[in-house]
């Protein structure tokens, strides 16, 4: 609870200036809330900025109805957290602890005001981001998951929430907290469940359902047209989103899993300029997402583009997997790559139940007390090994070749070889998996000797090879033999190294043929491409 008080003290040290308050008063309206009035309910759209002039506002526990936090908001403070920028939903109810007088500014007007007054914007965004961090650390919020370790559906929701920095609390089935939560919702405390607030039990738990409850899954009007549709929320896509917003383009980013892409699963990036002690991929991209939202770029997830059609006027119509459509003057393809599935018997049966394709905090928790096995020889596999060895009993890295020198950075390889908790199995592969409902063991085969080694393991990480996400582009732009997008001189386009064979479609990051598979280069490409996007949009008028 100490971090809660710290955040509020931080707010008091950096209050809004008198001129900022006058600007709020001019753009909004004064309103009175009698004691006990619920000012915000979980699940409702965060559609207004609420600045407290007189009184006291308290955070309410969504399940008990009692005050949730010892600290409250007082005069000079304001409600909300970082989801305000994207128009997300309130995740914690708030009510007037005493009679309150506030200034309320409609969200769109507030975003305009923040754009006009950068000093005020910096203060508010800093406070909002600090609150989200505190929520994540404390597990605050109205989202509770029961049984993520025994239910693939709940595990998928947990992964989606974790990777998108959505605060939630995970409960063991039958635990006292699960029992109390179940009683408030009238459900079985021993059965897996996804619960949002006191009254909402998600009957068909999925990332789509949770995204809709939290306001992350935007509804699109088929008649709406954006200047640029950015497909993919990894480093390249988010960098493009930042610069598109900064240039005044109406930009929309859609992502089918989580903002951060494959880089978001990296526990520690040490060779990105400006972060000498390293930074997690998720944190790096989250900072970029906040920057982009500050400039007005919208994000929506989980959305997968099913098809893309070029229209008669040169613009594009994207159809999503839920049937919704949106038009765009230009498209930036930043879908990156995804790890390939291996032809191992029962691999799909254990996905989410011991087989994973990312090594984030949520997967690290599932490695406690067990041996973790990682298949792969690239930097992602090496970073995962260094991260997981903190929680796992030990880590086994399985490599098909006789060396890692050609596929892994030297500094990372040196650390792996020096760490006593990590064993590298060269010229080896996983031959079989065993277990009942969950993974219980892995068999390794030494390809040079034929010897088999059995390892008791509840966590297998597959990080081998990469396939581009370009099926939805087939027939519209030129691809190479492996499905990567050809750009620039590769397809006869000399105006831009990121232009594809179809005017108005650009490709950046790992999805582009011949790109350097590094976060820094992806960020650079996403930043640079917007100048050509802007030129194309201007030509279309």
What CATH number did the domain enclosing 29 receive?
Answer: 2.60.120.10
In a domain, 494, yes or no: yes
Phi, psi of 462 (to 5 degrees): -105, 115
User: Of the segments 220-229, 252-261, 348-357, 411-420, which one has the largest average pLDDT value?
Assistant: 411-420
Could you tell me if 307 and 389 lie in one domain? no
Residues 131 and 154 in one domain: no
522 and 418 within one domain: no
Neighbours of 137 (CB within 10 A): 11
The answer to whether residue 10 scores a pLDDT higher than 80 is: no
What is the tally of helices (H) and strands (E) in the chain? 13, 27
Provide the residue range defining the domain that includes 152. Answer: 143-214
Give the phi and the psi of residue 318 in degrees, each rounded to 5. -100, 130
Query: 325 burial class (0-12, 13-18, 19+ CB within 10 angstroms)?
Result: middle
Tell me, yes or no, whether 409 lies in a domain: yes
Please identify, among 189, 214, 239, the residue that sits at the C-terminal boundary of a domain: 214
How many whole angstroms separate alpha carbon 413 and alpha carbon 442? Answer: 24
pLDDT average, residue stretch 178-183: 86
Q: How far apart are CA 483 and CA 470, in angstroms?
A: 6
DSSP assigned state of 15: P
Q: What is the CATH number of the domain that holds 177?
A: 3.40.30
Distances (CA, A) of 445 to 60, 357, 388, 403, 426: 55, 21, 23, 17, 10
Q: Are residues 370 and 420 in the same domain?
A: yes
The domain boundary, picked from 464, 488, 505, lies at: 464
Which pLDDT score, from 0 to 100, does residue 31 have? 97
If asked whether residues 383 and 368 sit together in one domain, one would say yes
Of 91-95, 145-149, 359-363, 435-439, least confident by mean pLDDT is 359-363
Find the CATH number of the domain harbouring 255.
3.50.50.60
With bands split at pLDDT 50, 70 and 90, how would you rate the model's confidence at 278?
A: confident
Tens of pLDDT, residues 85-95: 988 899 888 99
Q: How many other CB atoms are found less than 10 A from the CB of residue 307? A: 16
Lowest mean pLDDT among 77-81, 150-154, 199-203: 199-203
- CA-nearest of 43, 49, 81 to 62 is 43
Q: Are residues 83 and 159 in the same domain?
A: no
Domain membership of residue 220 (yes or no) is no
333 shares its domain with 475: yes
Name residues whose C-beta falls within 8 Å of residue 452's C-beta, 6 or more positions apart in sequence. Answer: 431, 443, 444, 445, 446
**269 — pLDDT class (breaks 50, 70, 90):** confident
9 has a pLDDT exceeding 60: no
Q: Is the pLDDT of residue 12 over 60?
A: no
Q: In Å, what is the CA distance from 213 to each residue of 44, 166, 216?
A: 9, 12, 8
Q: Are residues 47 and 120 in the same domain?
A: yes
Mention every residue, 6+ apart, whose C-beta is less than 8 A from residue 401: 377, 407, 426, 427
**How far apart, in whole angstroms, are the C-alpha atoms of residue 163 and residue 208?**
14
- Once rounded to an integer, what is the mean pLDDT over residues 414-424? 95
Are both 119 and 41 inside the same structural domain?
yes
The whole-number pLDDT of residue 48 equals: 96
Averaged over 443-455, what is the pLDDT?
94
pLDDT of 22 over the 60 cut: yes
Q: Is the pTM of this model over 0.75?
A: yes
Q: How many domains does the chain have?
A: 4
What per-residue confidence (pLDDT) applies to 11?
Answer: 43
Share above pLDDT 90 across residues of the chain, in percent, rounded to a whole number: 58
User: 13 pLDDT band (50/70/90 cuts)?
Assistant: low
How far apart CA 60 and CA 511 sit, in angstroms, is: 45
User: Same domain for 83 and 158?
Assistant: no
Task: Average the pLDDT over 436-460 and give the result.
Answer: 94
Q: What is the pLDDT of residue 6?
A: 42
For residue 136, the model assigns a pLDDT of 85
pLDDT value at 333 more than 90? yes
Q: Could you tell me if residue 12 is inside a domain?
A: no
- Output the six-digit token pair for 534: 């802007």
Instruction: Name the residue with higher pLDDT: 51 or 469.
Output: 51
180, 214, 248: which is the final residue of a domain?
214
Residues 130 and 38 both lie in one domain = yes
The alpha helices in 175-329, defined as continuous H runs, are 176-185, 207-213, 235-246, 281-294
What SS3 state is found at 221?
coil
452-456 vs 298-300, strand pairing mode: unpaired
Per-residue pLDDT at 4: 39
Task: Give yes or no for residue 449 having a pLDDT over 50.
Answer: yes
Q: Is residue 450 part of a domain?
A: yes
Q: What percent of the chain has pLDDT over 70?
A: 97
Q: DSSP code of 17?
A: P
Residues 352 and 437 grouped into a single domain? yes
Query: Distance between CA atoms of 43 and 186, rounded to whole angstroms?
Result: 20
Average pLDDT over residues 321-335: 94
Confidence (pLDDT) at 236:
96
Mean pLDDT estimate for the chain: 89
In this structure, is residue 7 part of a structural domain? no
8 domain residue, yes or no: no
pLDDT computed for residue 186 by the predictor: 84
Residue 105 covered by a domain = yes
Average pLDDT over residues 438-442: 94
66 vs 173: which has the higher pLDDT: 173
- Judged by DSSP in three states, 332 sits in strand
Q: Quote the CA–CA distance of 14 and 8 in Å, as a whole number.
A: 10
The two tokens of residue 109 are 């007007």
CA-based nearest residue to 231, from 243, 241, 220: 241
What is the spatial distance between Cα 353 and Cα 91, in angstroms, rounded to a whole number?
28
Confidence class for position 423, pLDDT limits 50, 70, 90:
very high
Alpha helices in 14-143 (DSSP H): 18-27, 107-116, 118-138
Cβ 441 vs Cβ 457: under 8 Å = yes
pLDDT class of 1 with cuts at 50, 70, 90: very low
pLDDT, tens only, 34-72:
999 999 988 889 999 999 999 999 988 877 778 877 778
Alpha helices in 390-476, H assignment, sequence order: 410-418
Tokens 């020198």 locate to: 405
């Amino acid at each position: 609870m100490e971090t809660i008080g710290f955040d509020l003290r931080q707010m008091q040290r950096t209050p809004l200036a008198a001129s900022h308050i006058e600007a709020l008063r001019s753009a909004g309206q004064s309103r009175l809330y009698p004691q006990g009035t619920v000012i915000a309910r979980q699940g409702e759209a965060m559609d207004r900025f609420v600045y407290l002039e007189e009184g006291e506002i308290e955070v309410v526990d969504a399940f008990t109805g009692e005050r949730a936090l010892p600290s409250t908001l007082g005069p000079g403070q304001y409600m909300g957290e970082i989801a305000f920028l994207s128009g997300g939903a309130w995740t914690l109810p708030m009510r007037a602890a005493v009679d309150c007088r506030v200034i309320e500014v409609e969200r769109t007007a507030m975003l305009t005001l923040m754009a006009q007054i950068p000093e005020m914007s910096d203060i508010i965004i800093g406070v909002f981001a600090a609150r989200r961090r505190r929520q994540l650390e404390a597990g605050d919020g109205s989202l509770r998951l029961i049984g993520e370790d025994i239910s693939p559906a709940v595990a998928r929701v947990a992964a989606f929430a974790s990777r998108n920095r959505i605060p939630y609390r995970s409960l063991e089935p039958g635990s006292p907290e699960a029992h109390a939560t179940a009683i408030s919702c009238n459900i079985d405390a021993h059965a897996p469940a996804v619960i949002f607030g006191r009254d909402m039990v998600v009957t068909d738990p999925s990332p789509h359902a949770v995204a809709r409850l939290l306001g992350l899954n935007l509804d699109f009007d088929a008649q709406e047209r954006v200047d640029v549709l950015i497909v993919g929320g990894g480093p390249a896509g988010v960098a493009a989103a930042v610069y598109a917003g900064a240039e005044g383009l109406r930009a929309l980013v859609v992502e089918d899993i989580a903002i951060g892409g494959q880089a978001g699963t990296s526990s520690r990036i040490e060779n990105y300029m400006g972060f000498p002690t390293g930074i997690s991929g998720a944190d790096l991209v989250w900072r970029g997402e906040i920057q982009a939202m500050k400039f007005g770029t919208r994000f929506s997830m989980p959305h997968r583009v099913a098809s893309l059609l070029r229209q008669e006027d040169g613009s594009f119509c994207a159809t999503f997997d839920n049937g919704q459509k949106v038009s765009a003057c230009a498209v930036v393809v930043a879908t990156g790559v995804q790890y390939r599935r291996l032809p191992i018997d029962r691999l799909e049966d254990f996905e989410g139940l011991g087989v994973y394709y990312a090594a984030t905090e949520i997967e690290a928790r599932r490695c406690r007390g067990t041996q973790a096995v990682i298949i792969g020889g690239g930097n992602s596999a090496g970073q995962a090994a260094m991260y997981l060895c903190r929680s796992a009993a030990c880590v086994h890295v399985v490599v098909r070749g006789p060396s890692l020198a050609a596929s892994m950075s030297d500094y990372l390889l040196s650390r792996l070889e020096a760490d006593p908790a990590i064993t590298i199995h060269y010229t080896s592969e996983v031959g079989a998996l065993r277990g009942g409902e969950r993974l219980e063991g892995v068999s390794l085969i030494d390809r040079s000797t034929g010897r088999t080694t059995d390892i008791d393991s509840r966590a297998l990480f597959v990080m081998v090879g990469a396939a581009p996400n370009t099926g939805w582009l087939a027939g519209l732009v030129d691809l190479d033999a492996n499905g990567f997008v050809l750009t620039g001189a590769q397809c006869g386009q000399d105006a831009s190294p990121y232009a594809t064979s179809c005017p108005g479609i650009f490709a950046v990051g790992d999805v582009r043929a011949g790109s350097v598979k590094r976060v820094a280069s992806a960020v650079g490409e996403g930043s640079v491409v917007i100048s050509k996007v802007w030129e194309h949009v201007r030509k279309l008028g």
